[in-house]
Each structure stands twice: as structure tokens, then as C-alpha cells.
């Protein structure tokens, strides 16, 4: 299938590793150019070098900073002359139950995971030319549909973001801008390895047993789906949330 991504430009936040990096890899492999962000300059530099200086640019940014999204959009215009969409990927909040999380942990997660993502989505959407359209993908979690034991803050914030994505899709649809959510399940990223390391091996086995494919997903499998959804090949997909979880969610 032709994704028609040649020379299109996408911002990918959290693009130095994990799901963001996998998406940047898939976009670049299909001819796109990317502007990535990460929290550290070294991580940005390493990712840009691996993706190719002619295909990638980046800067250190935290979506909790009010001007982060504007700086990323400006870099896309400065370096590549346009912006066609974005994948907004933010690191997950700390593990723990909802009642055990402190007020400060809730506030910090809200500023970055929730408000930072909303701010980025509306900033990038405003940059997309009316008539030409584009796509904004929010990386959420399967907790947007069903709670995950031990991730209380995520369980609280992700469903709200899924509804924000739906609301933004309604608002921006007449301009040809698509907005959607991606719901990764258990993908073999550094964060999942950290969570697994904190659990008994029996807990990990129960997680695997609950996945019909009986394995964790690979970041590249997520990245290919994200690249498709951001591409013109998915031009009639908006306002929805798509699980990428090996069938683990029990909701349709």
C-alpha cells in the first residue's frame, strides 16, 4: 500500500525512543521528514543522527512547558517548510494506585500527560493548512477503555484524553484535520520492562496469558500502525481510538 508520505513533515514528541521513535522510524522509512523531541539534548542528537540529518531535526522539549509545542512547530517550518501532522507521545505517569498517588504526582502528570498533550494537539492542528488537512495522533493507553491495575493516574487521565481527541475531531474535521487516539497495550518498551521488573514473574505471565496473541507487541508494530493512521492512506479515519494490543482489550 502506498502511504503517500514522501516529503510530508510530522512532529513526533517523545521521538527519541519507545513508541515515538518507532513511529519516527516508520515515517522516515516511507519518505517523510520528522521533527522529534525528547527531554535531553543527547537523546535528541542520537535519534536525529540515526534517522538521518536530511530527514530529521529535533530539540529538547517537555510538553509540560507551555511553549514546547510552538517551538516544535516553528522548527518544522524553519527546517522543512511545512507541517502535515503530529504524533503526540508523552511518557506514562508513575505507577501506583489512584489513592496512593500524592497531590503533587497528580498535578505533575496532569500538566504533562493531559494538559501538555491537549496544548500540543491544538497547536499542531492550528498549523495545518485549511483545505490540505493533516492528522494528529494522541498516544494514549488501553487504560482509556479499561483500567490497568497499578496505574491509577493513567487510569484517571487517559479516558479524558480520549474524549478530548473526539471533541477535537469534531471541531477540526470541517478543515480536513483528523484527530484520533492510539491505545497501545503491552508493547516491549523500556517503560514496560521497568513495570515488569517491579512485578512478580507470575504477574507477567498472567499478562501474557491475557493477550490472545500470547506475546508482547514490538515497538515497530506500533510504529507502522501510527504511520498509516497519520498518512493520507487513512484519510477517512478520525474521531476514533484504535487499540494496538494483540487483542487484550475485552471491549469491542
Bridge partner residues of 179 (DSSP):
136
Measured between alpha carbons, how far is 222 from 187 in angstroms, rounded to an integer? 8
pLDDT tens, 197-209? 777 787 788 888 8
Q: Which three cell numbers stand for residue 105?
A: 504526582
For residue 166, count CB atoms less than 10 angstroms from its CB and return exposed for 0-12, middle for 13-18, buried for 19 or more: middle
Query: How many Å apart are CA 205 and CA 186, to the nearest integer?
Result: 12
User: What is the helix (H) or strand (E) element at residue 36, kind and residue range?
Assistant: strand 33-38
Looking at residue 227, its pLDDT comes to 98
Cell of 234: 487513512
pLDDT of 167 reads 97
Residues of the chain with pLDDT under 50: none
- Pairing mode of beta strands 177-184, 241-244: parallel
Return the half-sphere exposure (C-beta side, CA atoms, 13 A cut-off) of residue 64.
11
Helix (H, G, I), strand (E, B) or coil at 155: helix
- State the pTM of this model: 0.94
Q: Measure the CA–CA gap between 142 and 183, rounded to whole angstroms.
A: 5
CB 51 within 8 A of CB 21: no
CB of 18 within 8 A of CB of 220? Answer: no
Distance separating alpha carbons of residues 8 and 30, to the nearest angstrom: 10
For the record, the C-alpha cell of 99 comes out as: 489513592
Write the pLDDT tens digit of every residue in 134-168.
999 999 999 999 998 889 999 999 999 999 999 99
pLDDT value of position 192: 77
95 CB-side CA count, 13 A: 12
Cα 48 from Cα 155, distance rounded (Å): 33
Contacts of 129 (CB under 8 A, 6+ apart): none
Amino acid at each position: 500500500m502506498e502511504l503517500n508520505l514522501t516529503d510530508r513533515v510530522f512532529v513526533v514528541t517523545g521521538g527519541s525512543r519507545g513508541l515515538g521513535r518507532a513511529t519516527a522510524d516508520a515515517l522516515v522509512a516511507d519518505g517523510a521528514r520528522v521533527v522529534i523531541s525528547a527531554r535531553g539534548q543527547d537523546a535528541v542528537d542520537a535519534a536525529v543522527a540515526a534517522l538521518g540529518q536530511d530527514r530529521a531535526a529535533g530539540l529538547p522539549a517537555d510538553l509540560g512547558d507551555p511553549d514546547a509545542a510552538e517551538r516544535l512547530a516553528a522548527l518544522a517550518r524553519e527546517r522543512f517548510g511545512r507541517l502535515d501532522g503530529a504524533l503526540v507521545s508523552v511518557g506514562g505517569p508513575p505507577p501506583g494506585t489512584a489513592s496512593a498517588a500524592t497531590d503533587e504526582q497528580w498535578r505533575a502528570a496532569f500538566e504533562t500527560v493531559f494538559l501538555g498533550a491537549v496544548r500540543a494537539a491544538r497547536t499542531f492542528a492550528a498549523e495545518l493548512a485549511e483545505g490540505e488537512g493533516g492528522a494528529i495522533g494522541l498516544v494514549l493507553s488501553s487504560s482509556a477503555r479499561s483500567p490497568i491495575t497499578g496505574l491509577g493516574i493513567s487510569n484517571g487521565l487517559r479516558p479524558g484524553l480520549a474524549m478530548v481527541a473526539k471533541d477535537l475531531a469534531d471541531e477540526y474535521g470541517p478543515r480536513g484535520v483528523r484527530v484520533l487516539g492510539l491505545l497501545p497495550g503491552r508493547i516491549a518498551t523500556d517503560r514496560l520492562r521497568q513495570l515488569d521488573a517491579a512485578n512478580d514473574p507470575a504477574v507477567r505471565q498472567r499478562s501474557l496469558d491475557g493477550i490472545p496473541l500470547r506475546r508482547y507487541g514490538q515497538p515497530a508494530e506500533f510504529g507502522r500502525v501510527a504511520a498509516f493512521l497519520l498518512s493520507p492512506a487513512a484519510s477517512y479515519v478520525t474521531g476514533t481510538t484504535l487499540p494496538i494490543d494483540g487483542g487484550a482489550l475485552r471491549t469491542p
